[in-house]
Structure 1
Amino acid sequence: MIIDAHAHLLPKDYPSDAPACFPHMEPIDGSTDRLLVFDKMRFPAKEVFFEAERRIEAQDASGVDAEVVSPMPPLLRYDLPKADGLALARHVNDFAAELSAHAPDRIIGLGMVPMQDPDAATAELAAIKESGLAGVEIASNVLGSSIGDEKFLPFFQEVEKLGLSVFVHAMPAPMDRLPMSAMGTYVVGIEGMFAAASLILGGTAAACPDLRISFSHAAGGLAMMLPRANYFWGGSWNEEPKNLDRAVMPDDGPSPLEMARRFYYDSMVFDARTIRYLVDLLGADRLLVGSDFPAMLREEPAAKTLRSMDLPEAEWEDISWKNALRWLGREAVA
């Protein structure tokens, strides 16, 4: 069984009387696909983004049993005014709930909230839960602010209280240190790391021990930084017992690695060697299958690299589907 925990949706249409800042879909001559127009963006959206029947067909063709579908990241426009951001989120959430209702066991929807206004985002969570959505997708930063900033703590506390799940998708933040060509590659790695690290360092992970949160693309470079963070915390190499004489910033709380092992990470890292490192460092019980489908093509069959790694059966079952159900707060049964 395989659950793809990182897939995306796009609404088929937007209200004709929507604010001018809303996206819209244009027909494409001779095709059932549509063109997403959002400011300067022009994105040809395959029919599978918005038609439930096509999604099920695509799952069957790739050997996927279910998908967790979240809004295409460009929809997470935190620069919109609060009222417009809330209206867009509600439209996307209504569509996500409708798409999921077509086949609840095969299409598990996540919604979105206007994180540019933390109070409005928090207040909207009850409606997310009431609609039957499993949780929310948020960007790795909000207009340049890390999600571990204390102003977002009430949001995460409400997520935890309602038993919802969070998917953090790496998104560029304002920066001029790398060229635009790096936005989809190196910046994703940097942003994923910043987002996860900010939750650890800012106290959110400690304050919300039951928060079920997953990071796209294994939180970028986080895993490479964690051993160094552990050394600064406790002065030890290789997770050996603390040696406070060597610790740079001693801390009596849980280690950075312990905190990071509370999170989930999709294993779409494009290389079996990286997956093996993640399994060794974070544990097979922390990893999920992810594809970015249909924005990116899946491996064929799905999780081909994971399948090729000769993982022990228990580890394969954890990564391929059980961890996804745990992240979603659903009982993992055979």
Structure 2
Amino acid sequence: MLVDAHAHLLPHDYPDDAPDCFPRMEPVDGTDARLLVFGALRFTAKAAFFDAEKRIEAQDASGVDAEVITPMPPLLRYDLPVADGLSLARHVNEFTTTLCAAAPGRLYGFGIVPLQDPDTATAELKQIRDAGLHGVEIASGVLGRPIGDERFRPFFAEAERLGLPVFVHAMPAPTDQLPASAMGTHVVGLQGATAAASMITGGTAAECPDLRLSFSHAAGGFPLVLPRAQYFWSGTWNEEPAVPERAFAHDDGPSPLDYARHFFYDTMVFDHRALRYLVDLLGHDRLLAGSDFPAMPREEPCGRTLRSLDLSPAELDDILWHNTFRWLGVDPPP
């Protein structure tokens, strides 16, 4: 069995009377694709983004049994006025609910919220749960603030209370340190790392110990800097017992690695050596198979590199499907 825990959707269209700040989905002549027009963004979306039958055909062709589907990250527009952001989120969430209802057991949908207003976003979580959606997707930062900022703590506490898992998708952010061509690669890796680190350093991981949180693309560079954070906490290499008098920041609570091993991470890292490192450092029980489909083509067959790692059958099953259902908090199908 294989469950793709990182896959995306786009609504087929938007209301005719939608605010001007909403996206548009325009027909593409001669195809069943749609053109997403959102400000300066132009993106051609194949039918698998919005057609349940096409999604299931694609799953079957790639050896995928189910998907966790989240809206494409450009829809996480935290720069919109709050009322417009809430209206957009509700339209997208309604479409997601309808799409998943067409293929129960094969599609597990997540909603979105206007996190630019934490109070509104927090209040919307119950509606997401009551609609039958399985979790909520957020971006790695909100208008220049990392998600570990204290102002978002009530949002995560409510997600924890409701038992809703959270998917953190790394998003490009403006920077003068790298060229624009690096937005989808290096900058995304930096944003993912900042988001995960902020959840630990900002105190949310400690305050919300039962929150089920997953990071896209293994939280970018976060796993590689974790041993350094561990050293500053413990004063030792290789996760050896802490020596407080040699540490820079030791306390009696969980270590950075302890907190990091409470998160989940998808496996979209493109290299067997990177996957091996994630297994060795974070544990096979923390990883979720993911593909970014249909925004990116799946590895064929899906999970091929994971299966090349010489993992035990139990470890491989954990990554390919079991961990995803643990993250979702639902029983796997028979």
Query: In the alignment, is residue 58 of structure 1 matched against residue 58 of structure 2?
Result: yes
1:23, 1:36 within 8 Å by CA — same for their partners in 2? Answer: yes
Q: Which runs of 4+ in 1 moved over 2 A?
A: 331-334
Distance in 2, Cα, partners of 1:18 & 1:202: 37
- Any idea what the Cα deviations from partners look like across 1:245-300, whole Å, max 9, x if unmatched? 22112222100000000000001100000000000000000000000000000001
Using the size of structure 1 for normalisation, the TM-score is: 0.99
SS in 2 for 1:185: helix
Distance in 2, Cα, partners of 1:227 & 1:183: 26
Query: Which aligned pairs between 1:34-183 and structure 2 lie closer than 5 A?
Result: 34-183=34-183
Cα drift, residue 310 of structure 1: 2.0
Amino acid at match of 1:201: T
Query: In the alignment, is residue 260 of structure 1 matched against residue 260 of structure 2?
Result: yes
Distance in 2, Cα, partners of 1:23 & 1:251: 48
Amino acid at match of 2:110: L
Distance in 1, Cα, partners of 2:332 & 2:244: 40
Partner of 1:308: 308
Distance in 1, Cα, partners of 2:294 & 2:322: 23
RMSD: 0.9
Partner of 2:295: 295
Distance in 1, Cα, partners of 2:245 & 2:192: 32
Distance in 2, Cα, partners of 1:332 & 1:211: 20
Distance in 2, Cα, partners of 1:206 & 1:289: 26
SS in 2 for 1:314: helix
Partner of 2:216: 216
Distance in 1, Cα, partners of 2:125 & 2:242: 41
- Any idea what the Cα deviations from partners look like across 1:37-74, whole Å, max 9, x if unmatched? 00011100000000000000000000000000000000
Query: In the alignment, is residue 202 of structure 1 matched against residue 184 of structure 2?
Result: no
Cα drift, residue 188 of structure 1: 1.1
Amino acid at match of 2:59: Q
1:234, 1:243 within 8 Å by CA — same for their partners in 2? Answer: yes
2:105, 2:333 within 8 Å by CA — same for their partners in 1? Answer: no
Partner of 2:185: 185
Amino acid at match of 1:88: L
235-244 or 90-99, which moves further after superposition? 235-244
SS in 1 for 2:241: coil
Q: Could you tell me which runs of 5 or more consecutive residues in structure 1 were left unpaired when the two chains were aligned.
A: none
SS in 2 for 1:108: strand
- Any idea what the Cα deviations from partners look like across 1:283-321, whole Å, max 9, x if unmatched? 000000000000000001111111122211111000000
- Any idea what the Cα deviations from partners look like across 1:112-156, whole Å, max 9, x if unmatched? 000000000000001000110001100000011000000000000
Amino acid at match of 2:261: R
1:112, 1:138 within 8 Å by CA — same for their partners in 2? Answer: yes
Amino acid at match of 2:269: V
Amino acid at match of 2:175: M
1:149, 1:202 within 8 Å by CA — same for their partners in 2? Answer: yes
Distance in 2, Cα, partners of 1:321 & 1:92: 26
Using the size of structure 2 for normalisation, the TM-score is: 0.99
308-317 or 131-140, which moves further after superposition? 308-317
SS in 1 for 2:184: coil
Query: In the alignment, is residue 279 of structure 1 matched against residue 279 of structure 2?
Result: yes
1:144, 1:174 within 8 Å by CA — same for their partners in 2? Answer: no
SS in 1 for 2:246: coil
1:73, 1:171 within 8 Å by CA — same for their partners in 2? Answer: yes
2:160, 2:210 within 8 Å by CA — same for their partners in 1? Answer: yes
Distance in 2, Cα, partners of 1:202 & 1:332: 34
Distance in 2, Cα, partners of 1:246 & 1:78: 43
Distance in 1, Cα, partners of 2:77 & 2:333: 37
1:193, 1:219 within 8 Å by CA — same for their partners in 2? Answer: yes
SS in 1 for 2:244: coil
Amino acid at match of 2:305: T
Partner of 1:240: 240
Query: In the alignment, is residue 329 of structure 1 matched against residue 323 of structure 2?
Result: no
Distance in 1, Cα, partners of 2:188 & 2:316: 26
* Length, aligned pairs only: 334
Partner of 1:270: 270
Distance in 1, Cα, partners of 2:174 & 2:85: 20
Cα drift, residue 333 of structure 1: 7.0
Amino acid at match of 1:156: F
- Taking only the aligned residue pairs, the percentage that are identical comes to 69
Distance in 1, Cα, partners of 2:27 & 2:276: 44
Cα drift, residue 76 of structure 1: 0.3
